[in-house]
Amino acid sequence: MERHLKDYITFLRIEKNLSPNTIEAYERDLNRYLQFIKESQSITDLNKVKQKHIRSYLRVLNDVHLSVNSINRAFSSIRSFHNYLAGEEIIEANPMLLLNTPKAPRKLPQVLSVQEIETILSMVDTTNNLGKRDLAILEILYSGGLRVSELCDLKLTDLLLDAEMIRVTGKGNKQRLVPLGPKALQCLNDYYKVVRPGLARKNQNSGRIFLSRNGKPLTRMMVWIIIKKYVALTNIKKDISPHTFRHSFATHLLEGGADLRAVQEMLGHADISTTQIYTHLDKEYLKEVHRTFHPRW
């Protein structure tokens, strides 16, 4: 078994050209797996490995409280190894064929309330030019539900202000049109017409909309720092990132009665199941519905 593992690692290094860190992770996972197969299941011939043995190993990983992500990584390593063994005809049957990847529980995203959004926005000082820029950034993140990378990549040609929309290029270079509310449009106009021309003269910026004080395209880290700056001025204790505004955008739309597929389109989700995570409702709202309509209240 050790020889087959050594050959597989060589295959990953030479034919798959994987990074040293990835190869090290595969080797570590597979060494543990083969040790379990040999010592706990008394198997020395890989042809005798069955689904039940692999399931037993996954149960052991779960029993030692390994995280779901770590278990999934181990599962992926084992599956790739057995696929290689089957492809090289080292084993007659692949025991991984009918095994499904363990599903990780989906965590509800951190969401801000409407009042918390308003509080953060109110911290921005718009008497200076960078404040006008920052408010436009926050308004667009919340009004359009953009990913931070999508915001940073916005170009002048993506502004469709007459239509009250922006063109967003998402994952896989897929483009979508996202409407903006009047407040976001006003803030964007203030920045675009008054502030941006002065910043753009300082540097080559490839036509990006949002620029730094030196005229360079704004980076994701800069946006993160901007958000942290204004959150620090509030009493909000939540861990807030640019993506929190996207989560809040989706949640508030759905709680207000928006159609799930419309929200999916605005978020740029390829699969509607990704959007469905936002269909959770505020606990207080659920309790209020229960209190209002249940006959035992």
The answer to whether 213 is a known catalytic residue is no
The answer to whether 147 is a known catalytic residue is yes
Angle, helices 242-255 vs 114-122, to 10°: value is 140
| From 82, 196, 208, 246, active-site residue | 246
Write the DSSP symbol of residue 103: P
| From 147, 208, 247, 252, active-site residue | 147
Helical ranges in 108-219 per DSSP H: 114-122, 129-144, 148-153, 182-190, 196-200
Separation in Å, CA 220 to CA 150, 175, 205, 210, 211? 9, 20, 15, 11, 12
The answer to whether 246 is a known catalytic residue is yes
Cα–Cα distance for residue pair 255/277, rounded to 1 Å = 12
The answer to whether 296 is a known catalytic residue is no
Name the residue among 117, 144, 109 with its Cα closest to residue 274: 109
**CA geometry: angle at 104 spanning 19 and 64, to 5°?**
80
| From 278, 280, 287, 291, active-site residue | 278
> Which stretch of DSSP H or E encloses residue 170?
none
The answer to whether 171 is a known catalytic residue is yes
| From 50, 171, 183, 290, active-site residue | 171
The answer to whether 50 is a known catalytic residue is no
Which residue numbers are catalytic?
147, 171, 243, 246, 269, 278
